[in-house]
Amino acid sequence: MPDSNIPQKDVSMTDFEDAIASNTNSITQSLSQMNIDGPNELEPQTLTKHKSTLIFDDDDEIPPYSNHEEHANDLVSDSGDENDSTSHLQNGSHQNSTIVSQPQQQQQQQQNHQPAQQQPAGQPSSQPQQRNTVMVPVDITWQQGGEKVYVTGSFTGWRKMIGLVPVPGQPGVLHVKLQLPPGTHKFRFIVDNELRFSDFLPTATDQMGNFVNYLEAVAPPQTWTDEQQQQEQPQDLQTQQLLNQQQVQHAQQPQVQQPQVKESQVANDNQQDITRPESTTNKKSKKMPTSARSRIAFEIEQEPDDMGDGFTRFREEKPLKPQLEYTQDIPAVFTDPTVMEQYYLTLDQQQNNHQNLSWLTPPQLPPHLENVILNSYSSNSPETGQNNSGSLPIPNHVVLNHLATSSIKHNTLCVASIVRYKRKYVTQILYAPLQ
Amino acid sequence: MNNSQDSIEALDMEQKLSLTAIRQFLKSKTSYDVLPVSFRLIVLDTSLLVKKALNVLLQNNIVSAPLWDAKTSRFAGLLTSDDFINVIQYYFSNPDKFDLVDKLQLGGLRDIERAIGAVPLDTESIHPSRPLYEACVMMLNSRSRRIPLIDQDEETSREIVVSVLTQYRILKFIALNCRETHFLKKPISELNIIAKGNLRSCQMSTPVIDVIQLLSQGNVSSIPIVDDDGRLINVYEAVDVLGLIKGGIYNDLSLSVGEALMRRSDDFEGVYTCTEHDKLSTLLDTTRKSSVHRFFVVDQSGKLEGVLSLGDILRYILLGEN
């Protein structure tokens, strides 16, 4: 398909201009950014030193923070994407071509240089429509030589070609920065009029069987706040603040911050750092980021009940729990359908006066699970001949690791589940008989 | 004279260089690399009845599926058309055992294999991160013409069936993505890859059960159907037996192969032929465009001369000209 759609060289230049025209915002923006943060980007060696903390350019600014190392490890193991991009960074130092998706860093730089662009300062959160259109900055690099290199892909409908610019000081290396919507994008390179793919980027075959490169643009979590506010703060506090944000952001939970809360929160965090007894607390607060207030409450909970001078903490009397009995036998209500039915009938009589047999109808499916990619796949489609690899659309991540079933026909149960396999998705469909 | 010899040598050189480049490409990529970003895989539980499994295959428009043993939580081999051929042969020689055949589970297929003395299918598999070249070579040596990709779950250390690669899929992949295939310009007659002697064929009036026997005896995926003059008119494929016993009904075994072909679905791709003078580049181009599973080599008058299977082509690409 791309073979036929890709225009020949003569039109490529105009196409490039078309691309600019249609994506004026994104491309001009990325071009302007390139000059500013270009040098920083192109020296991945400096970044490899501290994997997780791209924000910290300077080691000296980091206060002695016992948690730091651990935090870095945690980040690497927790989120596969981060891990991958960092390993790419390391590859980068060996003259490989890389895609570095650096939402965090980029986002901040955007804040610095174009405060009015995406998230106007002062109203960091609660703008869902803006959040939907957020573009992820992506750097596409080609390192296998060539004079004129273009990239074309699903993000341009495989029609337009976007030119790559040489990286100064690195012969044979070209790159371009694009703003892409979150999701999976497939692309190939046109190198001196020849359709090619990079050997250093993830590859896959598309529905037609063409070998393509692909990348997953991951939307950054919305955690950035008033920049100026931060700059007014003393240096160490600011760093502390950044650390906090790093933590919170790492856990991928948007944090709503209001300026007046912030000062106290920072102070509280400082104190927390000092008073934190051991690393278990650290871990806890890292795993479940909490708002400032609940964190204070949490801290109080941690303090000993005996407060000295005869004061002890007031605790509500806990109601006496009934003695529970544990057994290894599965109660009949779960194994015998007639008992189960009787149980629910009784429940129904007690609670609803037999009005509605609500227990008979299963709860409604959450709307995001309605869109099952298996349903959109038709084995009778005319493309079946082409689609011999069973290629499916990219699943939305919310449907991953769910179990889907079809209705039982002819005593055969069919279940399916979509799981990640490395950086791809396998939809496994299992047919099994009912015993 | 000298000139033509030069050009033949150039052709030879070009062919060799292209093959080297294609092999290099297959060695540089892993099986994982060529998987789509998102794909489906149909797996059958070994306790499923054979006739139900047949329905599942037909419904999903596939001809093979990996099996899963839920008791041991392990991959249990591939279900292919060969298994159905075995069942047909077993039932044909033991017509009194219909009950057994009707209630046969996929796990019992190995017993059928043993009962009729068929060579058991290899259950070889390969890890998805091994080079594609390695997977291709393993596939060549397997009777099922496919290779399952099996990984191990890191946490539970149980097997994960990731996907199954077939010869057609690999050849199509090569044809689509290796520009070097355009330079395979030597006529196929010079490559010594066409199977000619002792070619098994049948006629329209041949009973289908005899054709099925030919399929299993020769371990081939198809039997060409020729007329009285030896001209190719159709083909009976191993996958056609799936339609023959659709719904677990074995009444049609007495049909002639011509009648049996009436059951074939309308979207049958057709029979692909070529001549000895065709080039591999042309054949690969055809493979790219349509789902070919073998080429029959015919002469000017359409008389069947030989057959060129996908396995033969793949073997040549992987190992030929050395």
pLDDT in tens, A361-399: 677 878 877 777 777 665 444 444 445 678 888 888 888
Last residue of a domain, one of A170, A185, A217: A217
Q: Which of B43, B48, B162 sits opposite A412 (nearest CB)?
A: B48
Mean pLDDT of B53-81: 92
Q: Is the Cβ of B13 closer than 8 Å to some Cβ of chain A? A: no
Distance from CA of B251 to the nearest CA of A (A): 22
B59 at the A interface (CB within 8 A)?
yes
Q: Searching chain B, which residue's CA lies closest to the CA of residue A207?
A: B36
- In this complex, do B60 and A422 lie within 8 Å of one another by their Cβ atoms? no
Residue A153 lies in a domain: yes
Is B39 an 8 Å CB contact of chain A? yes
Which chain B residues are Cβ-neighbours of A184 within 8 angstroms?
37
Range of the domain at A211: 136-217
At B258, list the tokens. 């011509």
Mean model confidence pLDDT for chain A: 64
Domain ranges of chain B: 32-176, 186-319
Residue A296 pLDDT > 90, yes or no? no
Alpha-carbon distance values, B118 to A256, A343, B86, B111, B311 (Å): 69, 54, 7, 10, 21
Q: Which of A184, A217, A250 is the last residue of a domain?
A: A217
Using a pLDDT cut of 70, give the percent of chain A over it: 43
Nearest to A221 by CA among A144, A107, A312, A339: A107
Interchain CB contact of A435 with B (< 8 Å): yes
- Where does the pLDDT of residue B249 fall: very low under 50, low under 70, confident under 90, or very high at 90 and above? confident
* Among candidate residues A55, A62, A72, A125, the one with its CA nearest the CA of residue A286: A72
The CATH number that applies at residue A144 is 2.60.40.10
Selecting from A204, A206, A388 the residue whose C-beta is nearest the C-beta of B168 gives A388
pLDDT the model gives residue B202: 95
Q: How far is B135 from chain A (nearest CA, A)?
A: 16
The torsion defined by the Cα of B175, B179, B182 and B183, in degrees rounded to 10, comes to: -130
CB nearest to A426's CB, from B41, B59, B176: B41
A205, B38: Cβ pair inside 8 Å? Answer: no
Q: Alpha-carbon distance A339 to B257, whole Å?
A: 56
Inter-chain CB pairs, A–B, below 8 Å: 128
Confidence check: pLDDT of B240 > 70: yes
Structural domain includes residue A40? no
pTM, two decimal places: 0.66
Q: Which domain-ending residue is among A167, A193, A217?
A: A217
User: Is residue A25's pLDDT more than 60?
Assistant: no
How far is the C-alpha of B230 from the C-alpha of A21, rounded, in Å?
64
Q: In this structure, is residue A201 part of a structural domain? A: yes
CATH topology match: B32-176 vs B186-319:
yes
* pLDDT computed for residue B49 by the predictor: 93
**Residues 168-187, chain A, touching B (beta carbon < 8 A):** 184, 186
> How many domains in chain A?
2
Q: Do B39 and A431 touch (CB under 8 A)?
A: no
- Let me know if residue A186 belongs to a domain: yes
Report CA torsion sign: B12, B18, B22, B25. positive
Inter-chain CB proximity B70 and A432 less than 8 Å: yes
Residue A377 in any domain: the answer is no
Output the pLDDT for position A118.
41
A425 touches chain B (CB under 8 A): yes
Q: In this structure, which amino acid lies at residue A112?
A: N
A413 within a domain of the structure (yes/no)? yes
Q: For residue A22, is it within any domain?
A: no
Q: How far is CA A282 from CA A75, A244, A285, A295, B77, in A?
A: 14, 12, 5, 12, 49
Class of B32-176 per CATH? alpha beta
Q: Average of pLDDT values for A145-149? A: 91
- pLDDT (tens digit, 9 = 90+) per residue, B42-51? 999 999 999 9
Residue numbers in A near B29 (CB within 8 A): 203
What is B186-319's CATH number?
A: 3.10.580.10
H or E element at residue A1: none
